[in-house]
Homo-oligomer: A and B are copies of this chain.
Amino acid sequence: MIIMMNAPTAEQINRVLDKLRHMGLDGHSITSADKTIITASGDLSACNPELFERMPGVNKVVIVGTPYKLVSREFQSKNTVVSIGDVRFGGDGIPVIAGPCAVESYEQLYQAGVSAKAAGAAMLRGGAYKPRTSPYSFQGLEKYGLEIIKTVGREVGLPVVSEVTDPRKVELIAEHVDMLQIGTRNMQNFVLLKEVALSKKPVLLKRGLAATIEEWLMAAEHIMSGGNSQIVLCERGIRTFETYTRNTLDLNAIPVIKHLSHLPVIVDPSHGTGSWRWVSPMAKAAIGAGADGLLIEIHPCPEEALSDGPQSLTLANFAQLMAELDALAIVLGRSINK
């Protein structure tokens, strides 16, 4: 159950919270720019919405049957559209984010960025702080990498997204990029989610490797209840018994998320499959499944990449894929460019 109020007084809020407490329910008050929402959790079966609707300051009571409240379609039936400059996730367009796994040099990123732009990509990606399984692998160019991506983004005319892994670095990274990425290993790093919520930057929230759809939506709920509703979900493959592909890209999650939540959801077939060979067919499949965007790794020279080379498309392959995707999108009443 969720109770929404418009510009209530502190006393009005406290009276609602008190009433919830007396009924054995757990109430939380969330205030953003223009409104206050109070969420209640616990056994709501005996709770009559009318009791609250009559209270001063209360506008409406919405019953939400799922553990996630604010991100649910029950709470908001209309699609959320996340805008980054001209790029819009959640509308009719299907923006494609492209770029290398890691920022390796200005030259590498510039070359990737120019080609991405030319092929119709809407945003540029590139990691500066890389979470790596091995402490002995390349860990990213860190602050220098941030400066590169900021510069290249401006030069080629694409907004940029980069991953944040440290709550102490959220502010720094937010100054350099247009969108913050939460990687798969940090989907339940709640400390980091809280910081990202406070930053108010749009967030790209990747699904955890073994996260259920419900846990993924709960992670988004952490961000949204922290005051930031500019969230784009990203399916990037789950861990299963199948080892031929590095992960199992779970496209079923796309229609399910569109049904359960108003948030846009995009697909990363590069990490999702782990090999460039499967990226094009799975990108087309993602469009068929109804994805609101794509995230595709490209590299001027995949065989020399410092990170995840085998899953990156060459710039030429990417350009060809974009043309094919656009034709598909049009049949479905959507479009890749715009």
Interface residue ranges, A against B (CB under 8 Å)? 26, 28, 39, 41, 67, 69, 131-137, 165-168, 185-186, 188-191, 209-210, 212-215, 218, 221-222, 225-226, 238-245, 248-256, 259, 272-273, 277-278, 281-282, 284-290, 327-328, 331-332
Contact = CB atoms under 8 A, between A and B. Distances in A.
A253 B241 CA distance: 13
- Interface centre among A239, A252, A285, A327, by most chain B C-beta atoms within 10 angstroms, is A252
Top 9 A-B pairs, shortest CB-CB distance? A210-B210, A284-B288, A288-B288, A285-B289, A285-B288, A255-B281, A285-B285, A185-B188, A166-B191
9 contacts: A26-B136, A167-B168, A189-B189, A214-B244, A238-B240, A240-B248, A284-B289, A285-B289, A331-B331
Counted per complex, copies of this chain come to 4
Nearest to A194: B135
A188 B28 CA distance: 30
Contact of A41 (B136, B242, B250, B256): B136
A281 B277 contact: no
A255 B275 CA distance: 11
A278 B256 contact: yes
A81 to B, nearest CB: 20
Contacts of A272: 252
Contacts of A213: 242, 244
Contacts of A245: 252, 256
B212 A210 contact: no
A309 to B, nearest CB: 15
A41 B134 contact: yes
Contacts of A215: 133
A225 to B, nearest CB: 5
A131 B212 contact: no
B132 A190 contact: yes
A252 B288 CA distance: 14
A252 B249 contact: yes
Contacts of A239: 210, 241
Contacts of A131: 188, 190
Contact of A165 (B190, B212, B241): B190
A205 to B, nearest CB: 14
B135 A225 contact: yes
A22 B60 CA distance: 47
Contacts of A135: 28, 190, 218, 221-222, 225-226
Contacts of A225: 135-136
Contacts of A167: 166-168
Nearest to A243: B243
Nearest to A169: B191
A177 to B, nearest CB: 18
Nearest to A222: B135
Contacts of A186: 189
A82 to B, nearest CB: 20
Given A168-B168, A188-B185, A241-B210, A221 B134 contact: yes
